Amino acid sequence: MKALILATSLLVSCAPVGSAPLATPTASASVVPTAPLPTPSPTASVAPGLIRYVSTELGYSLDLPAGWRRATCSQGVVTTSPLEASEMFVGMPDAEEVIRAGVRLVVVRVTESGGLTPQAWLEQHLLQPGARSEATTLNERTGARAILTTPGTIYAFAFAVRGWMYVIERTLFGPEDQELDRILATVRILDDATVGRGPIATPVPRSIESLADAIGDGFAKQDVAAIAATMAPCVTVGAVPGDPDMRSRTAFVTTLAVDFAAGRSVRVQPRPIESDPYFGRFVRSTSSKPGEPDQRVDFVLRADRDRWSVVAILIRSSGN
């Protein structure tokens, strides 16, 4: 379903879990660090029960119901030239953040418009069978919207501003969802955006060898705080072959603590640090639990400049 393109692309790009090597940014792209940028502080309530999320960096705002927030697994700004950015909004706490098919969410994407009108952009990228696009005005901005002909659900808006295309989209699963509809209708494109103007934070260096040792030590001691410190804020978790999901590191270690309490142990092999043609650098481990067969689990490692972190946990099937 084309309406899920944005969410699916986030799953693939959070960590190297696809069936082919990741694309390397071209020389013309200005790559922004993968560590999440600070989330703008919400302002005062703008309507009963709503909080306005404002991104001065990307130049838009969104009114969120109680319990909703910017997802930890949001990509944020990926590149600034050309601009490519996306943010997800979910109605769950960080300790429960697992992004997979069927999860209710709203996605805001900001990208180069390529000279397209909002209606043309929707028709090329998000229009699906049984849907149409049409011009519209929302919160004093002229743009376009995508609508399911039956039952008439608006599932996306697009606006061309500053040479960029702002697209806000909601997932479409099951019955009508008035809460998602209301969130979608609150998007406002601001008059300015600060992306690329501020200083870029420099992560504390960490070598791949010291990371591998820290993973082994953390699991040997079953120290979930130490394990969390080895991980990127968002990790991809899944079986190989299989469909991965994205989890905040808080969600991952919360589940891990329960597994430890139930008798799970993980023996990490810090050396050698191996290479996979599809996933990149990794270290192996063996996960054991009484009454269950052992599993091979690989921790995929990636660097944000000079700092290496765990970005994916892959559960290997027999023979892989």
Place 128 in a pLDDT band, splitting at 50, 70 and 90: confident
Percent of the chain whose pLDDT exceeds 90: 76
Task: Look up the pTM and report it.
Answer: 0.85
pLDDT of residue 151: 86
pLDDT of residue 196: 85
168, 184 contact by CB (below 8 A): yes
Per-residue pLDDT, averaged over 143-155, amounts to 93
- The answer to whether residue 33 scores a pLDDT higher than 50 is no
Per-residue pLDDT, averaged over 33-48, amounts to 50
User: What does the angle CA 223 – CA 224 – CA 225 come to, to the nearest 5 degrees?
Assistant: 95
Give pLDDT tens digits for 54-92.
Answer: 999 999 999 999 999 999 999 999 999 999 999 999 999
Residue type (1 letter), 92: M
Place 319 in a pLDDT band, splitting at 50, 70 and 90: low
pLDDT of residue 200: 79
Cα dist from 157 to 119, 147, 209, 250, whole Å: 9, 9, 46, 32
Per-residue pLDDT, averaged over 119-135, amounts to 94
DSSP 195: T
Place 9 in a pLDDT band, splitting at 50, 70 and 90: very low
- The answer to whether residue 183 scores a pLDDT higher than 50 is yes
Which domains does the chain carry?
Answer: 2-189 (no CATH), 208-316 (3.10.450.50)
H or E segment to which residue 266 belongs? strand 265-276
Q: Which among 76, 11, 32 is positioned nearest to 304, based on CA atoms? A: 32
pLDDT of residue 318: 64
Which two three-digit tokens encode residue 225? 């705080």
Which residue in the block uniquely carries the two structure tokens 């054991």? 288
Bridge partners for 51 per DSSP = 45, 64
Count of Cβ atoms closer than 10 Å to residue 275 Cβ: 9
Characterize 245-270 residue by residue with b for buried, 16 or more Cβ atoms within 10 angstroms of its Cβ, and e for exposed. bbbbbbbbbbbbeeebeeebebebeb
Mean confidence (pLDDT) of the chain: 87
- The answer to whether residue 104 scores a pLDDT higher than 70 is yes
Count of Cβ atoms closer than 10 Å to residue 23 Cβ: 8
Which residue in the block uniquely carries the two structure tokens 């029960």? 49
- The answer to whether residue 186 scores a pLDDT higher than 80 is yes
Place 320 in a pLDDT band, splitting at 50, 70 and 90: low
Sign for the CA dihedral angle at 118, 123, 126, 131 comes to: positive
- The answer to whether residue 237 scores a pLDDT higher than 60 is yes
Per-residue pLDDT, averaged over 235-244, amounts to 93
Per-residue pLDDT, averaged over 14-30, amounts to 32
pLDDT of residue 11: 39
More confidently predicted of 78 and 40:
78
Place 145 in a pLDDT band, splitting at 50, 70 and 90: very high
Which two three-digit tokens encode residue 278? 């599809």
Q: Which among 31, 35, 5 is positioned nearest to 311, based on CA atoms? A: 35
Q: Which among 30, 70, 313, 38 is positioned nearest to 183, based on CA atoms? A: 70
C-alpha neighbours within 13 Å on the C-beta side of residue 78? 20
Characterize 189-227 residue by residue with b for buried, 16 or more Cβ atoms within 10 angstroms of its Cβ, and e for exposed. beeebebeeeeeeebeebebeebbbbbbebbeebebebb
- The answer to whether residue 292 scores a pLDDT higher than 60 is yes
Per-residue pLDDT, averaged over 258-278, amounts to 97
- The answer to whether residue 159 scores a pLDDT higher than 80 is yes
- The answer to whether residue 228 scores a pLDDT higher than 60 is yes
Q: Which among 200, 230, 198, 225 is positioned nearest to 215, based on CA atoms? A: 230
Per-residue pLDDT, averaged over 29-33, amounts to 34
> Which residues have C-beta within 8 Å of that of residue 242, sequence separation ≥ 6?
315, 317
C-alpha neighbours within 13 Å on the C-beta side of residue 152? 0
Per-residue pLDDT, averaged over 97-106, amounts to 95
Furthest C-alpha separation in the chain: 62
DSSP 253: H
State the DSSP string of 222-238. T-HHHHHHTEEEEEEEE
- The answer to whether residue 163 scores a pLDDT higher than 60 is yes
- The answer to whether residue 4 scores a pLDDT higher than 50 is no
